[in-house]
Amino acid sequence: MKIGIVGYGSYVPSGRMSFDETKSKKSVPGPDEDAATIAVAAASCALDMAGIDRTKVGAVYVGSESHPYAVKPTAGIVGAALSLGKDFMAADMEFACKGGTAAVQVCCAVVKSGMTEYAMAIGADTAQAEPGDVLEYFASAGGAAFILGSKKEEIIATIDATLSVTTDTPDFWRRSLQKYPKHMGRFTGEPAYFAHIVEAASKIMAKSALTPKDFKYVVFHQPNNKFPRVVAKRLGFSSEQLELGLLVGEIGNTYSANSLLGLAAVLDEADQGDKILVVSYGSGAGSDAFILTMGGGA
């Protein structure tokens, strides 16, 4: 059974802040926007695209670092707002900036197991940064939602393979009741971001007997303008393969929605048969890697 994306949607707040130092912009949420409202907006677009009976969505998983409640599921709010009914599994997920891709993996498994016909994975955040911290340049807000199913005629892109690399690497954290996250500066680079993305990308390509030349597009987690370009070059991908999904310079780092928004941008333009590699990164630390094929896999 092949599992694939049958609908997807994205939402980025319209507010923007520009930075001359980094020659970049980032999205800024309105006073009435939080991870839940952003998730609902993105998920509503995904449902419209899929055109399915929404009551058949039997699972909703929301990845975020900024759930509006410490104890009260964002996933339940999303389900109620979208009139999914009551018969669906729901849970919130958190793994720094890869909570959204972790939700995609869970939804793949839930649909493949036959537990439900459709499952929805969402990554949504209003990212936090301490005033004056370097994180302020890119910490932004946005969300992306993906509905997964198994009906061949509905699938936009198949998910051909996925795997994860996980370690205990303390590059970035926020303790309970702490308002802003802390990070280890340059330590967030080589032993954290680069090590995990390179390993996850290399392993999934080796497992699938593919090389960078087999992909039309690649999407890496993009905490800033520099890191995804450096990791693409290390792995042997060209700037042309990377650019379409590279959004950080225009909308900033949307944390749990980061690589999913990049994937949504690629899906908007990709053609039948195009292969896409997506590798997320979440501090603490780990990466989720996916290989997708537009319209179906081998």
Do 11 and 38 meet the contact criterion of CB atoms below 8 Å apart? yes
Cβ 4 vs Cβ 118: under 8 Å: no
| Mean of per-residue pLDDT scores for the chain | 95
Distances 293 to 261, 278, 287, 297 between C-alpha atoms, Å: 17, 11, 20, 5
| 122 close to 144: Cβ distance less than 8 angstroms | yes
The CA–CA distances, whole Å, from 161 to 26, 39, 199, 217 equal 32, 25, 15, 16
Q: What is the pLDDT of residues 201-232, one digit of tens each?
A: 999 999 999 999 999 999 999 999 999 999 99
* pLDDT band at residue 110 using 50, 70 and 90 as cut-offs: very high
pLDDT tens for 43-82 read 999 999 999 999 999 999 999 999 999 999 999 999 999 9
Matching residue, tokens 């280890």: 184
Residues composing the chain = 298
* Residues classed as catalytic: 65, 97, 221
Strand pairing report for 141-149 and 4-11: antiparallel
Q: Are 252 and 138 in contact (CB under 8 A)?
A: yes
The sign of the CA dihedral 16, 230, 270, 103 is negative
What's the pLDDT score for residue 297? 45
Cα 230 off chain centre by:
20
pLDDT of residue 281: 97
The order of strands in the sheet holding 217-220 is 89-93, 57-63, 118-126, 141-149, 4-11, 157-166, 286-294, 275-279, 217-220
Q: What is the structure's pLDDT at 22?
A: 83
Reading phi first (left if > 0) and then psi (alpha if -120 to 50, else beta), residue 288 is in beta
Sign of CA dihedral 213, 221, 27, 93: positive
Looking at 19-28, 39-48, 216-225, 286-295, which range is the least confident one?
19-28
Number of Cβ atoms within 10 Å of the Cβ of 5: 26
Query: For residue 291, what are the β-bridge partners?
Result: 161, 277
Instruction: Enumerate domains of the chain plus CATH numbers.
Output: 4-154 (3.40.47.10), 157-294 (3.40.47.10)
200 vs 205: CA distance, rounded Å: 9
Q: Is the whole model's pTM more than 0.85, yes or no?
A: yes
The residues pairing with 24 across neighbouring beta strands, listed in sequence order, are: 19
CB 123 within 8 A of CB 61: no
Res 298: pLDDT: 43
DSSP state of 191: I
Half-sphere exposure of 95 (CA within 13 A, CB side): 23
CA distances from 67 to 58, 147, 231, 237, 283 (A): 21, 20, 30, 35, 17
